[in-house]
């Protein structure tokens, strides 16, 4: 069972491993949207958006519902937005660590020059 869960998690994170897919999920976090709306808001061409949406649908991360001749996309599970928020916090923590390290390096460098 643990191996199955680890495989699920690995596949899930692979599905998230593209900047446009992340952007699409962030946009859908604000509400359901059509391909054209996503394309416009993401500033990307329609074929790229459609391709990434297909991957997200295949992995059951988003769902699509027909509305006339349009398909309206939504998040399958709104918890994905919390996951992305946690990822942003982790990224920010890494930035803080890197800035702190750079500041320390700069201070050490200044001290060495003054000797």
Query: What pLDDT was estimated at residue 101?
Result: 79
Query: Residues 55-109: pLDDT tens digits?
Result: 999 999 999 999 999 999 999 999 999 999 999 999 888 887 778 877 777 776 6
pLDDT surpasses 80 at 111: no
- The pLDDT, as a whole number, for residue 17 is 93
In terms of phi and psi (left: phi > 0; alpha: psi -120 to 50; beta: otherwise), the region of 70 is beta
pTM equals 0.79
DSSP the chain: -HHHHHHHHHHHHHHH-SHHHHHHHHHHTT--EEHHHHHHHHT--HHHHHHHHHHHHHTTSEEEEEETTEEEEEES-THHHHHHHHHHHHHHHHHHHHHHHHHHHHHHHHHHHH-
């Amino acid at each position: 069972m643990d191996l199955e869960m680890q495989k699920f998690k690995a596949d899930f994170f692979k599905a998230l491993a593209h900047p446009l897919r992340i952007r699409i999920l962030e946009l859908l976090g604000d509400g359901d949207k059509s391909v054209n709306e996503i394309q416009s808001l993401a500033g990307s061409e329609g074929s790229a958006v459609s391709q990434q949406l297909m991957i997200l649908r295949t992995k059951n991360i988003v769902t699509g519902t027909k509305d006339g001749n349009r398909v309206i996309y939504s998040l399958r599970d709104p918890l994905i937005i919390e996951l992305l928020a946690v990822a942003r916090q982790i990224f920010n923590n890494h930035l803080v660590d890197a800035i702190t390290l750079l500041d320390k390096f700069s201070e050490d460098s200044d001290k060495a020059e003054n000797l």
